[in-house]
C-alpha cells in the first residue's frame, strides 16, 4: 500500500531517488537544492540507499562524474540550481550528445547578479538548447512522480537522453506537503533495471565523444534532434503507464477549464497552482477564462499546444525569465512561433514576472488577465509587459 | 561511428554519402583502432618529396621525428611518407641530415 506522508518536498525527491535504486549520486550542494543532496548523502551513509555518493568540488565536476558513471552503465542522478546549472553548462551538451540518461532535479532559482537565491526560471531557460528532456512540475507530488518517470523515460533504449525535472526553488523545494509514496516493489516493477545497449566495458571497448569533423557533424546533430523529438512518444507512454499503475496522470500541456475558453492564461511550475485559483475566481465572476500549464518544455509539445489553444482568441503567457534584448520571454516567443502561420491562432501577449522569487498572488493573475486582454485588443509597442515593475 | 549494417550492406558508401541514419547513436565508435582509417592527409598544403639517391637506408631520423608516424622504409630501406596520413608539417625536411627531402606545394 502506498503511504501518504507530510514531508518536505526536497526530502521527498531524495526519497524518490532511493525508490529508483540510483547507483551513483554526484552532486554539489547549492541553495535551494541543498536539502535534496544532504538527504541523499544521509541515505547513502546510513546504508538505506546502496549507491556511491561522490562529493564533488563543483557542478562542472558533478556533471562530468555523472557522464562517466552513466557511460559505464550506472543509474545516475544529480541535482542543482541556478549558478550550479550554468557552471555545468558545458558538460550538459556532452551528456545529451553522447545519449547518457542522467536524471537531474533542478531547483529553479534566479541567476546572478544581483545575487538572488529565490525562484524563477532563468536557469532552466539558459539551458534550453542543451538537448535534455525538460519537465516542469507544480507541486511536491508531481516532483516525486516525475522523478520516478524521468528515469524510465531517459533510460528507455528508444530514448537514451538525460532528463531535467524542474521544480521551483523554495516555493516547492522547501514546502512541507502531503505526498503519496509508492511502495519500493511497485517502483521496481514500473522501472526496469537500466540496461544500455552499449556501455564502457574493457571486455567490449567503445569510444564515446570522438572527433566529428565537418563532414559528419551536421548529420550527428540532426540525428540527435530527431531522437529528442521522437522521445515525446515514449514520454507520453511512460506517463500513461504511470497513470495506469499509480493513478496520477501527466500530460505535456495540462488544461484547467481551458476547453472553449476565449481567454487563456499560460503558466509553468508552481505558479500554476495560484493561477488555477485565480482562474476559478474569475470564472465564478462570469469571465470566460481558462488556464493551460506547460509541463513538457523539451521536446516542445507543438501538437498538444496547438490543440489546447485552438478555441481561444487571446493567450496570455507568463515567463519567469527574460531574454535580454530579445523578442520577450523565451516561453512567450516560442509559443508565438509555434502558433505563427496557423489559419486560426489566438493573439499572444507576453508577460515577464515572478523574477527572483517575487510572488504573484491570485489577484495579480487576475490583473494580468485584464491587462492582457486590453493589450490584445489595443496592441502594444513593447515586445513584452514587465509585470509588477515599479515605474 | 558508422553503423555495422551500413558498413557491410553498403560497403560502397563513401564517407560523403553517409546519411544521418548511418551513424551509431551519439556517434559511438564500436570498432577498436578505427582511427587508422581517419584521413588526416587532406589537411596538407605541402607534401614531402623524397630523393632516393640521397636517402641513407641506415638512417631513420625522419621516421623517428615524424609526429604522425607516417614515414616508413620501403623494401630498399628508403624512406617514404604515407600521404593518407601525412599533414605536410615539414619536420622530416628539417631533421634530414642529407637534404634528401623537400616540400612541394600541393596543387
pLDDT of residue A1: 61
Q: Which CATH topology does A254-386 take?
A: Rossmann fold (3.40.50)
Number of Cβ pairs < 8 A linking chain A and chain B: 52
Statement to judge: residues B61 and B9 lie in one domain: no
pLDDT tens readout for residues A283-299: 999 999 999 999 999 99
Question: Do residue B20 and residue A219 have CB atoms under 8 angstroms apart?
Answer: yes
pLDDT tens readout for residues A152-181: 999 999 999 999 999 999 999 999 999 999
Statement to judge: residues B73 and B94 lie in one domain: yes
Statement to judge: residues B30 and B51 lie in one domain: no
CB A296 within 8 A of CB A235: yes
**Parallel, antiparallel, or unpaired for β A296-298 and A133-136?**
antiparallel
Chain A: closest CA distance from residue B11 (Å): 18
Statement to judge: residues B53 and B99 lie in one domain: yes
Domain chopping of chain A, boundaries: 3-246, 254-386
Q: Is the pLDDT of residue A85 over 70?
A: yes
Look at chain B and report how many structural domains it folds into: 2
Pick among B18, B27, B28 to test the A interface (most A CBs inside 10 A):
B27
Pick among A99, A132, A210, A214 to test the B interface (most B CBs inside 10 A):
A210
Chain A: closest CA distance from residue B89 (Å): 20
| Domain of B78, in residue numbers | 41-105
Closest chain A CA to residue B29: A207
Statement to judge: residues B75 and B49 lie in one domain: yes
B20 and chain A in contact, CB less than 8 A: yes
B63 and chain A in contact, CB less than 8 A: no
Pick among A219, A220, A224, A228 to test the B interface (most B CBs inside 10 A):
A219
Mean pLDDT for the stretch of residues A326-344: 96
Question: Do residue B16 and residue A98 have CB atoms under 8 angstroms apart?
Answer: no
Statement to judge: residues B52 and B9 lie in one domain: no
CA–CA–CA angle A232, A236, A240 (5° rounding)? 170
Statement to judge: residues B58 and B99 lie in one domain: yes
For residue A248, which of A145, A106, A385 has the smallest C-alpha distance? A145
Q: Which tops the pLDDT comparison, A103 or A213?
A: A103
Same fold, A3-246 and A254-386: yes
CATH of A3-246, one of 3.50.50.60, 3.40.50.970, 3.40.190.10, 2.60.40.10: 3.40.50.970
Question: Do residue A220 and residue B29 have CB atoms under 8 angstroms apart?
Answer: no
Statement to judge: residues B64 and B84 lie in one domain: yes
Report chain B residues whose CB lies below 8 A from the CB of A93: none
pLDDT tens readout for residues A195-244: 999 999 999 999 999 989 898 999 999 999 999 999 999 999 999 999 99
Statement to judge: residues B97 and B70 lie in one domain: yes
Statement to judge: residues B46 and B81 lie in one domain: yes
Q: Is the pLDDT of residue B10 over 60?
A: no
* Residue A79 φ then ψ, to 5°: -145, 150
pLDDT tens readout for residues B49-60: 999 999 999 999
B16 and chain A in contact, CB less than 8 A: yes
Amino acid at each position: 500500500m502506498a503511504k501518504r506522508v507530510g514531508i518536505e518536498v526536497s526530502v521527498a525527491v531524495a526519497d524518490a531517488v532511493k525508490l529508483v535504486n540510483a547507483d551513483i549520486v554526484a552532486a554539489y550542494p547549492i541553495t535551494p537544492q541543498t536539502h535534496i543532496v544532504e538527504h541523499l548523502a544521509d541515505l547513502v551513509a546510513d546504508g538505506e540507499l546502496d549507491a556511491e555518493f561522490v562529493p564533488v568540488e563543483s557542478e562542472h565536476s558533478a556533471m562530468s562524474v555523472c557522464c562517466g558513471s552513466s557511460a559505464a552503465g550506472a543509474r545516475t542522478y544529480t541535482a542543482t540550481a541556478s549558478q550550479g546549472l550554468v557552471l555545468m553548462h558545458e558538460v550538459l551538451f556532452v551528456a545529451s550528445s553522447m545519449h547518457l540518461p542522467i536524471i537531474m532535479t533542478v531547483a529553479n532559482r534566479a541567476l546572478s547578479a544581483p545575487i538572488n537565491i529565490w525562484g524563477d526560471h532563468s536557469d532552466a531557460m539558459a539551458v534550453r538548447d542543451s538537448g535534455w528532456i525538460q519537465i516542469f512540475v507544480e507541486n511536491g507530488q508531481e516532483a516525486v512522480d516525475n522523478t520516478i518517470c524521468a528515469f524510465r523515460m531517459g533510460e528507455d533504449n528508444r530514448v537514451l537522453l538525460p532528463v531535467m525535472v524542474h521544480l521551483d526553488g523554495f516555493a516547492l523545494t522547501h514546502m512541507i506537503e502531503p505526498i503519496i509514496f509508492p511502495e519500493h516493489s511497485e517502483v521496481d516493477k514500473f522501472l526496469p533495471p537500466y540496461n544500455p545497449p552499449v556501455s564502457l566495458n574493457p571486455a567490449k571497448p567503445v569510444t564515446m565523444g570522438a572527433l566529428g569533423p565537418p563532414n559528419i557533424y551536421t548529420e550527428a546533430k540532426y540525428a540527435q534532434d530527431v531522437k529528442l523529438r521522437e522521445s515525446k512518444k515514449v514520454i507520453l507512454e511512460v506517463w500513461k503507464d504511470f497513470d495506469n499503475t499509480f493513478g496520477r496522470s501527466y500530460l505535456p500541456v495540462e488544461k484547467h477549464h481551458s476547453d472553449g475558453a476565449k481567454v487563456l492564461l499560460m503558466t509553468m511550475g508552481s505558479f500554476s497552482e495560484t493561477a488555477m485559483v485565480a482562474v476559478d475566481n474569475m470564472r465564478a465572476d462570469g469571465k470566460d477564462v481558462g488556464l493551460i500549464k506547460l509541463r513538457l518544455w523539451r521536446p516542445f509539445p507543438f501538437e498538444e499546444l496547438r490543440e489546447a489553444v485552438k478555441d481561444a482568441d487571446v493567450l496570455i503567457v507568463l515567463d519567469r525569465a527574460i531574454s535580454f534584448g530579445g523578442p520577450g520571454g523565451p516561453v512567450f516567443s516560442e509559443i508565438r512561433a509555434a502558433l505563427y502561420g496557423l489559419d486560426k491562432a489566438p493573439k499572444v501577449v507576453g508577460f515577464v514576472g515572478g523574477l527572483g522569487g517575487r510572488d504573484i498572488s491570485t489577484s495579480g493573475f487576475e490583473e494580468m488577465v485584464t491587462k492582457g486582454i486590453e493589450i490584445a485588443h489595443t496592441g502594444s509597442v513593447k515586445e513584452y509587459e514587465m509585470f509588477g515593475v515599479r515605474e | 561511428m558508422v553503423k555495422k549494417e551500413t558498413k557491410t550492406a553498403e560497403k560502397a558508401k563513401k564517407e560523403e554519402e553517409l546519411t544521418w541514419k548511418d551513424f551509431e547513436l551519439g556517434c559511438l565508435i564500436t570498432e577498436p583502432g578505427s582511427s587508422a582509417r581517419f584521413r588526416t592527409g587532406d589537411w596538407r598544403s605541402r607534401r614531402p618529396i623524397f630523393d632516393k639517391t640521397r636517402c641513407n637506408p641506415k638512417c631513420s631520423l625522419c621516421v623517428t621525428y615524424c609526429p604522425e608516424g607516417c614515414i616508413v622504409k620501403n623494401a630498399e630501406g628508403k624512406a617514404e611518407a604515407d600521404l593518407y596520413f601525412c599533414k605536410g608539417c615539414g619536420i622530416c625536411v628539417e631533421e634530414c641530415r642529407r637534404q634528401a627531402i623537400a616540400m612541394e606545394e600541393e596543387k
